[in-house]
Amino acid sequence: MSTFDIGSIDKNLEVAAKVKAPDLVLYDVRKPPFQIYGLYEPTTEPCFKRMPTETAKAVSGGVRSLHVHTAGGRVRFSTNSPYVVIKAVMPSIHPMNHMPLTGSSGFDLYVDSSDGMQSLYHGTFVPPRDMTDGYESKVDLGEAKWRHFTINFPLYNPVTALYVGIAEGSELGEGAPYRDLPPVVYYGSSITQGGCASRPGNAYTAMVGRFLNIDHVNLGFSGNGKAEDTMIEYLCTLKMSAFVSDYDHNAPNPEYLRNTHQKLYDAIRAKYPTVPYIMLSRPDYFKNVKDSIARRQVVIDTFHYAVAKGDQNVYYIDGSSIFRGPFEDCCTVDGTHPNDLGFSKMAEAVYAVLTRALRDETFLKN
């Protein structure tokens, strides 16, 4: 089968194999002044990962494979360079049939306000489709002035090392601060991990983090969010300002969901009695209505159980309402996994609840 290179006739879609920056200086993001968020022990582990390897192995083979996918990973820094370059070292490349390479294996760049309260997309470090062990890419910024940046790691790819490049003679500093809160912890399925966003910053977890300027940890595991006992135990070791339970999809059936959903809630509540606890039912409700009704009832029952116990900081988001509107049939790539439109609707739903929940910060005393 022959291939067609659109870059040969449209230079706006051309992807360079090597960057053109003769004055380039590369810096390892594992070293100061870079600040890495959303990853487990990123400055000492041999590769970037989302949780300890031994724990991931103990949970399941799927989690073992996926824990080195860098969904939710971010690096923050500042510079007055007129451009930013990345050089990513990747031990393997994971292209997906229904997700752009920019989302599964790409990085994207945001310009942040100095206080971190605003973060706006500036460009994507677009990976070449024929890369084998990583890539390098450049985003031009125009005028050389002081800016704060966030780079989001790939959603579905391992990364061994990441270097940021700036122009020789440019200064380098720390990134904008997040709010002085522990991260929001998300646990769930491929949707939580970010499938199938067009780029990492468009996963709903990343959107909410930007809107609220709160750090987050993405523990979405594609096909493998099943709330196993070992995973529940690990989740309870994490510091958090809020917890989002979004694993409805990966429970093999409603009975399995019922056997684990309340157990997860009870475990988190035993460790953190008052942090906001948000539970979602799945947003692609109409793909299998009978099954969705049964699953949603399990989530609702857990919510009612929590309320009956006197929990005043538990929240339920009805997944069947998330994609509603004039373009509700445009929200997924395959009837299940959200595209950017679907993720924006999910982000709006979670953002609205978290904003309300975090107004009362008495839970910070715990």
DSSP string, 292-356: HHHHHHHHHHHHHHHHHTT-SSEEEE-GGGTT-STTGGGSBSSSSSB-HHHHHHHHHHHHHHHHH
- Cβ distance 162 to 87 under 8 Å? yes
And the tokens for 80? 């007055």
**pLDDT at residue 34, rounded to an integer:** 98
Task: Identify the DSSP state of 91.
Answer: S
Q: What span, in angstroms and rounded, lies between the C-alpha atoms of 218 and 76?
A: 17
pTM: 0.94
The domain limits of the chain are 22-174, 184-360
Distance of CA 317 to the CA centre of its chain: 19
Top-level CATH class of 184-360?
alpha beta
Give residue 15's pLDDT. 52
CA proximity to 249, closest of 216, 207, 221? 221
Determine contact, residues 158/133, Cβ cutoff 8 Å: no
CATH of domain 22-174: 2.60.120.260
Which three-class secondary structure state does DSSP give residue 96? strand
* Burial readout 184-223 (b: 16 or more C-beta within 10 A, e: otherwise): bbbbbbbbbbbbbbbbbbbbbbbbbbbbbbbbbbbbbbbe
pLDDT value at residue 6: 42
The radius of gyration of the chain from alpha carbons, rounded to an integer in Å, stands at 20
Residue 228 falls in which region: left (phi positive, over 0), alpha (psi -120 to 50) or beta: beta
Token readout for 334 is 């395959």
Rounded CA gap, 71 and 203, in Å? 9
Residue pair 99/111 in contact by the 8 Å Cβ criterion: no
**Contacts of residue 191, Cβ cutoff 8 Å, sequence gap at least 6:** 204, 220, 246, 249, 282, 283, 336, 337, 338, 346
Tell me which residue of 189, 306, 343, 315 sits closest to 251, measured CA to CA.
Answer: 189
Strand boundaries in 113-183, DSSP class E = 119-125, 134-140, 147-152, 161-167, 172-174
Instruction: Report, as ranges of residue numbers, the positions in the chain whose pLDDT lies below 50.
Output: 1-2, 4, 6, 9-14, 362-366
